[in-house]
Structure 1
């Protein structure tokens, strides 16, 4: 009514290319007039201000309809506005949107309202990009986002637009979403574009902000933008298929509604309505539904066909159709990015599987096995639950047969986890087949034995044949009901299930532990016999108890204690226990690195002197029958990995009770000759000793455990693909915990930092490390000794004394490293192999210390040797390793100590024995290594006490190196009381050596190396 009362109306049009245009109508007579014909004050001040600044010289052809309904086309004088001017004009009139005056025509009112709405979207960031092609150039421009809210608003606006706007611009919708949106955003971002910046805009951003063409990569950019916008559309506007439960509870008559809904982003799905969406959006949804039907044809078999575009898109399926849809098609839809929602109650139905294990019911079988062992037969029984409901046998069968997991359970429709159902079904079949196969094999063996007895006419063959026939009948009747498998076969199942959906195992504590449970059986305490000449600490007693229990149970064991905790003593004590109890069935073979073979022999002589010990190493070692006879009479045989690699045929003939691998990480590569050799040796029991934290080296852990219990972690490729990649690459904590559960029963790991261990440790423990020479060292040593022998025959008095002391120095240099002796600046290693047995052993200690987070001090008498070690250790550890010697200034010396004592200090420090022997506090270290010996306990202890002193909170492990077969070992044997030297007065230091006669010196120096 207000519009009728106005004498003049100002109209607005949005014309293609031109944009915003204003023209004036005189209501009386419906004439088109110029602004000067309109009385002042007719229009609102904002409108009059806009019109006053514009000329009406431009004319455009406009299609109009007369009051009598006649369509006419006229050239109309207009005020036309460029893009920026159009936005400024509409902004000036925006306040009229809330209460438009009568003089504003409906078409201009609509344009003002459209501008106001687009401003809100732009300011809310609901815009995206496009490339517009104009005048042979590509312009990056803003456009309205394609979300459900934006599309719905735009559809409503187009439906309410006056006809004159549509008639004169058939692309009105696109112009509003694209052109006007861009210039609004351009106007809003003008201050940002003009503000100073520390660095220039990217070319694309600059072109977008300035509305100018881009110059590079236009075709590629266009493709990329289109792909990006399509991905936005898929998120912003998508179909959702919602499965609802049927009203009819009869499974045969039920019709399951599948509601087809549309949603934007994470908004709630709502019915598809052509009235609330623009035509383009409806067409895209229609095509999306057609695509879904192509992927899931069941949606096209609806009992009530959907009518996309007419408001009813829903699908109705029968129960068997829904089962097929869920089983075979839902996953395909989800893989294609289509959302399918099942009833909420179904999603809450957690499905679990449980396997109950019991001791085998056959008492004859139980009597033939010694406790457990991986080949022990056990009975098993499956149980499943959906939600809180444990299923009966019949319900379990229905669930497994359903395959989809959709069943009616006790009056309610439930959806079990079909992946779990499928896995459990596979597990059940696999175990059943294993059980049936074993029974068939047992029957075949029993039948063969009965047939042989019959042919030989042995007494009782008739009873045997009858027993075979009886077992066959029982197997045919109930073979599938009474299921039995071995612990090893159940272990395979546990391993497989750990990589998917874990199965809960119940039964005996030990069965549960072997199958991945967290509890271990606490072994009983065993008495340590008097034949063990040592007082074992409490944690060592527990270690012997565990090793003994594992041995009697037929399970391979990994003793992974920190270095210095006495793994050797625990193993020797185990052998003594078995010998005392009459359970020794053969010798034990210890395979160790060459550098520690001598240590094993020394420790055995020290702790179990009654043992008959054989060292199988060196060129003079016995072979063939000689080795078999000698080894079979021993308690303990000690050998090297290299020797086993060469003599595995001879060693394979001995009836070993146990094969023990020391420094078991030596077999981390299962493809090496020595690794294959030790795995081929038959034995009743296997033990691996390692100080390396096996849980941090997954491939080594698998290899070591596989030696002790073959197949316990699956094949190398299975382990790598299912465990190692998930844990090492992706830090999968859940998989790490599953692996820990699987390995826990087989590994005993104690660390020095454990409060239960540290209180039980000695404050300081010392160990003599006997290492072997390399071939190069041995050649240098023998040549030197031969020359010294000749020189000693001619030397007398003070000359002889000087010759002995000089020779002793040269011998120590050779034992340290050939480069130390030769002084030729040659490398520490050659072609990746160590030239020195001592340096090789030092690096083993360094690696273990690094793994356990401990720091060490390395002492040497010689600055020249420290100069060789410093760059090598620095390179190996990736950090500068300090070397403290007499030439270091006081200030630098103090700085070295301060740096080493700090939390992030270097992992090692090298010290000369004299310069670093007194006055230093280096309690950050808990490991001390003496590379060469002073043969003076007071001097060596002073050096050791740099770490072992007040303020040290950890126990200190001291290693003193000597070289096997050399003067160093000879002197150590004398000091240990193993060798008597007639007429010699052994004192501290090395001076007493000069008092020996030439023959005695020659005997001590002579090389007694092996190989």
Structure 2
């Protein structure tokens, strides 16, 4: 047994202090009283370097248990010395030091504890498990290292403090903080000391220098302190978290008596949660966790006290709940805890239990209409059965009821506890209730009708009236028992629309029923034989189009034929009418409503492909009116009119019993609020068809408007569609909602692209080129003067006035880019002394000259009739031949003549067209060069115009030129669309409306003239 003991203390402010006890008599002595060899050599060498002149008051307990306070002579070590001293003493803890057993026993437990604390902290420092703090000392702020606040560090510190000899904690109430802060800092200081001594190519940052040398910071102290504290708080909030883990009770327990454990555990960062053992955590950690627990109990009181006996091996704060309380905890408290930032973990298997609904449908016949007649299309009656599944388990009726009645979604299913998605359950329950009410109303109405028919048969004593009465009684009993579950496909479609927007339902049944309910798209079910009255050889994709249109017609389902421009939509529609005429299935005439520019084209196509058709062109001042129109239309196969005429004559047209109403270029009704759109929607017919090459030009609402004409309500109301589909797809780019919408619309839209080789493989190629031209000096001067004036005015305008100014300015900019005479409107010449005044016109003439040399013809598009009027006489003079200009003011007969002349072998070399009047419906395949003089910035509109030449019948490759002017707004917009530049905060849409939403600085940036180097 050792005769002398070397004690160690870590005192506030002083740090490491050593003192010596003589065991016999328990006296405090100086090193001079200790014989040589009593301590290990490392200790004796350390003690020889220090005097024991310093004294400190120490609280001690005598062997008899008496507490005393004495002034004790000590060897005190400055911080850096303390680290060196503990490093030298740490070899005594290795077991390999050169010391006898008696010498090792001379190291008191308190000093051994300090040595082990040093070794543990040094391991954390070397592992980088430290952070930074600011310490205020003598009026200065010092950056210092401190132990990190992770669960591992806190747990180690808590265990060390719990195991500390009483003398250490009695004499230093802040022992835990001193170890984590002071001793940790000086260990890190010693470990990193070599960094300040090594040569560097550049000096340390002031803060890093202060931290490495334990010097005060020189500037930014308050801001630095605030920033460091925020940073440390963010680390602490991640490093120490309460976690609530719900565990399942044993499977053999009675569900009604089950004890559900909720483990209240703690984790650091992404480490695994650990049971809470308060005696193994440091004081600061315990206080932090207790505060978090108080907050959690305020949200979920059931966490405050266990309802059932706790397992002896459970954590200190674990609770056990009955099943009803657990259901309440999951249903309400868990979500509230998560919202407050706590982590709640449910059994892993529960998270995998996706709740789905499936609706199985079967076709039924209307018993009142006999066995030979069935409803068609959307009016077809179907029986349905609900099936719900949780995960891979399909539930029985009893289990479905149990799940629906479960508020939390927690049920015992075939021996296992499962958690279903409560939101899905709620929506599915709403669907089931809604469909049940619909079926109930239909069944009640049908029962009343059958009962009236049976009563009439009984009174008239018709044969078989007894069977009718008995059938009514049977159906009444089924109705009372809730066994009648029949609805129409249209009613199911409404449910499908809602489910696609919120909680999808899987529909099963016949292929076409599934398609109509949004489950899939499909081809027409059978090939239709074409009659000899069709004088054309249809391509395979056109045959499929006729098959599809015929199936949709026979099922009274509106159809959108959205083939690309030039793929023969007109021929397919005429073939459909011819098929139904041959089969005597048409119940009246077909009304074709088309843009004015193509009314004549429809008449020519009908005469060419179906010459035996009786055709009436209802257009122009000499058109039929009143009863004469009604009588004559009834005798026709086709009546062709324009949107403008339909808007004026809709009241009379509405008196004709149309079999079908067809909209050509149906994007004309993309705005459901216009007069023509309302007019065509008011016309009654058995069947509706929309023909369009661009079902969506700018917004999804346009497609909805067209589909709503064909099948009213098929995509819900405009507000429903906008809120549930358009916003998610257009603003948020939701691929999920985009795919759901595709499924909902696919059965009603047949879309084929001419660029798809499987559709058509004999079209020539089309190449597009952006042609950038330079301004003339005159254009540049006009442009800069305009932009300067606009920028001065822009800040003074607000709201609609500002938007109007932007759009008006855009028009004037385009006019300047086209030609100074277009902007000035002064009737001045295209050139002056043979020199071009416009870079665009100069480039146009280069293209025209090349086309003439190679015997090619051009279509020249402009948005502006005024610019076309400038180009027409100039081109006519340059080419020595009258160049036609097709615009909105040209009469129908004149348009038809223009098209016919241009298509003839000796037609003019070029045609000028306004984009709106000449951009749709025309067949101008004699041209294979297309020039867009000014841009609409809408690919759909520009492609429509291009497709006047790029369509069936074109034999040569088509070259498209799109002109923009260098250094102007035109080039800026093109750069944005090409991805060369970005505009922060701007949503760049198709068309020009997005420009009105830019702030003045962004507009100035786009408009400013950028002269070339």
Report the TM-score when normalising by structure 1.
0.70
Distance in 1, Cα, partners of 2:376 & 2:271: 59
What corresponds to 1:215 in structure 2?
221
What corresponds to 1:381 in structure 2?
385
Secondary structure of 1:474's aligned partner = helix
When residues 370 and 664 of structure 1 are mapped into structure 2, their CA distance, relative to the original with a 3 A threshold, is farther
The answer to whether residue 234 in structure 2 is matched with residue 228 in structure 1 is: yes
What corresponds to 1:912 in structure 2?
848
Contact persistence 1:560–1:749 (CA under 8 A): yes
Distance in 1, Cα, partners of 2:304 & 2:816: 86
Secondary structure of 1:432's aligned partner = helix
The answer to whether residue 15 in structure 2 is matched with residue 19 in structure 1 is: yes
Deviation of the 1:114 alpha carbon? 1.7
Deviation of the 1:376 alpha carbon? 2.0
Distance in 2, Cα, partners of 1:627 & 1:669: 28
Secondary structure of 1:224's aligned partner = helix
Deviation of the 1:379 alpha carbon? 0.7
Aligned pair partner of 1:124 in 123, 127, 144: 127
What corresponds to 2:357 in structure 1?
353
Secondary structure of 1:240's aligned partner = strand
When residues 283 and 636 of structure 1 are mapped into structure 2, their CA distance, relative to the original with a 3 A threshold, is same
Aligned pair partner of 2:111 in 83, 92, 108: 108
Cα shift readout 1:552-586 (whole Å, capped 9, x = no counterpart):
11212222222222222222222222223222233
Distance in 1, Cα, partners of 2:189 & 2:591: 84
The answer to whether residue 329 in structure 2 is matched with residue 329 in structure 1 is: no
Secondary structure of 1:660's aligned partner = strand
The answer to whether residue 525 in structure 2 is matched with residue 523 in structure 1 is: yes
Contact persistence 2:493–2:517 (CA under 8 A): yes
Aligned pair partner of 2:554 in 552, 555, 567: 552
What corresponds to 1:686 in structure 2?
688
What corresponds to 1:483 in structure 2?
485
Contact persistence 1:34–1:56 (CA under 8 A): yes
Distance in 2, Cα, partners of 1:650 & 1:505: 43
Cα shift readout 1:379-424 (whole Å, capped 9, x = no counterpart):
1011233454433333333333334334444455444444443333
Aligned pair partner of 1:161 in 164, 171, 176: 164
Q: How does 1:45-444 map to 2 (within 5 A)?
A: 59-65=55-61, 70-76=66-72, 78=74, 80-83=76-79, 86-87=82-83, 89-91=85-87, 93-99=89-95, 102=104, 104-130=107-133, 132-135=135-138, 141-185=144-188, 212-213=216-217, 214-217=220-223, 221=227, 224-225=230-231, 227-229=233-235, 231-233=237-239, 236-246=240-250, 248-299=252-303, 302-304=306-308, 312-365=316-369, 372-442=376-446
Cα shift readout 1:295-321 (whole Å, capped 9, x = no counterpart):
334456744266999955443333333
Aligned pair partner of 2:497 in 482, 495, 498: 495
What corresponds to 2:716 in structure 1?
714
Contact persistence 1:147–1:237 (CA under 8 A): no
Q: How does 1:960-975 map to 2 (within 5 A)?
A: 962=886, 964-965=890-891, 970=897, 972-973=899-900
Distance in 2, Cα, partners of 1:23 & 1:251: 65
Contact persistence 1:370–1:552 (CA under 8 A): no
Cα shift readout 1:142-201 (whole Å, capped 9, x = no counterpart):
443333322221111101222222122101112222333344445556677899999999
Q: How does 1:512-661 map to 2 (within 5 A)?
A: 512-518=514-520, 520-616=522-618, 625=627, 627-629=629-631, 631-645=633-647, 647-661=649-663
When residues 646 and 206 of structure 1 are mapped into structure 2, their CA distance, relative to the original with a 3 A threshold, is farther
Contact persistence 2:496–2:518 (CA under 8 A): yes
Deviation of the 1:33 alpha carbon? 6.4
When residues 435 and 300 of structure 1 are mapped into structure 2, their CA distance, relative to the original with a 3 A threshold, is farther
When residues 93 and 354 of structure 1 are mapped into structure 2, their CA distance, relative to the original with a 3 A threshold, is same
Secondary structure of 2:553's aligned partner = helix
Distance in 2, Cα, partners of 1:623 & 1:357: 49
When residues 976 and 166 of structure 1 are mapped into structure 2, their CA distance, relative to the original with a 3 A threshold, is closer
What corresponds to 1:1001 in structure 2?
none
Q: Which moved more, 1:20-29 or 1:115-124?
A: 20-29
Contact persistence 1:450–1:461 (CA under 8 A): no
Cα shift readout 1:76-104 (whole Å, capped 9, x = no counterpart):
55555555554455455555543476365
Contact persistence 1:540–1:566 (CA under 8 A): yes
What corresponds to 1:859 in structure 2?
none
Distance in 1, Cα, partners of 2:154 & 2:248: 28
Q: Which moved more, 1:737-746 or 1:82-91?
A: 82-91
Distance in 2, Cα, partners of 1:519 & 1:295: 50
When residues 570 and 174 of structure 1 are mapped into structure 2, their CA distance, relative to the original with a 3 A threshold, is same
Contact persistence 1:644–1:651 (CA under 8 A): yes
Contact persistence 1:828–1:868 (CA under 8 A): no
Contact persistence 1:594–1:640 (CA under 8 A): yes
Secondary structure of 1:374's aligned partner = helix
Distance in 1, Cα, partners of 2:202 & 2:703: 54
Secondary structure of 1:535's aligned partner = coil
Cα shift readout 1:614-659 (whole Å, capped 9, x = no counterpart):
5555566555556545555543344444554555444444433333
Contact persistence 2:451–2:469 (CA under 8 A): no
Q: Which moved more, 1:470-479 or 1:420-429?
A: 470-479
Distance in 2, Cα, partners of 1:414 & 1:344: 10
Secondary structure of 1:756's aligned partner = coil
Distance in 2, Cα, partners of 1:556 & 1:206: 79
Cα shift readout 1:109-155 (whole Å, capped 9, x = no counterpart):
32232232223333434344555555566666544333332222111
Deviation of the 1:66 alpha carbon? 5.1
Distance in 1, Cα, partners of 2:444 & 2:29: 107
Q: Which moved more, 1:700-709 or 1:155-164?
A: 700-709
Distance in 2, Cα, partners of 1:48 & 1:430: 91
Secondary structure of 1:108's aligned partner = helix
Deviation of the 1:481 alpha carbon? 1.1
When residues 89 and 544 of structure 1 are mapped into structure 2, their CA distance, relative to the original with a 3 A threshold, is farther
Deviation of the 1:543 alpha carbon? 0.8
Q: How does 1:442-481 map to 2 (within 5 A)?
A: 442=446, 470=472, 474=476, 477-478=479-480, 480-481=482-483
Unmatched 5+ stretches in structure 1:
766-816, 830-834, 836-861, 871-882, 887-910, 921-926, 934-938, 944-959, 978-985, 992-1011
Report the TM-score when normalising by structure 2.
0.69
Deviation of the 1:292 alpha carbon? 3.6
When residues 615 and 361 of structure 1 are mapped into structure 2, their CA distance, relative to the original with a 3 A threshold, is closer
When residues 81 and 930 of structure 1 are mapped into structure 2, their CA distance, relative to the original with a 3 A threshold, is same
Q: Which moved more, 1:694-703 or 1:382-391?
A: 694-703
What corresponds to 1:746 in structure 2?
748
Distance in 2, Cα, partners of 1:198 & 1:695: 62
Distance in 1, Cα, partners of 2:142 & 2:711: 70
| CA-atom RMSD in angstroms | 5.0
Distance in 2, Cα, partners of 1:180 & 1:33: 27
Q: Which moved more, 1:509-518 or 1:650-659?
A: 650-659
When residues 201 and 722 of structure 1 are mapped into structure 2, their CA distance, relative to the original with a 3 A threshold, is farther
The aligned length equals 826
Q: How does 1:830-841 map to 2 (within 5 A)?
A: none
Deviation of the 1:238 alpha carbon? 1.6
Contact persistence 2:242–2:264 (CA under 8 A): no
Distance in 2, Cα, partners of 1:818 & 1:277: 75
Q: Which moved more, 1:288-297 or 1:613-622?
A: 613-622
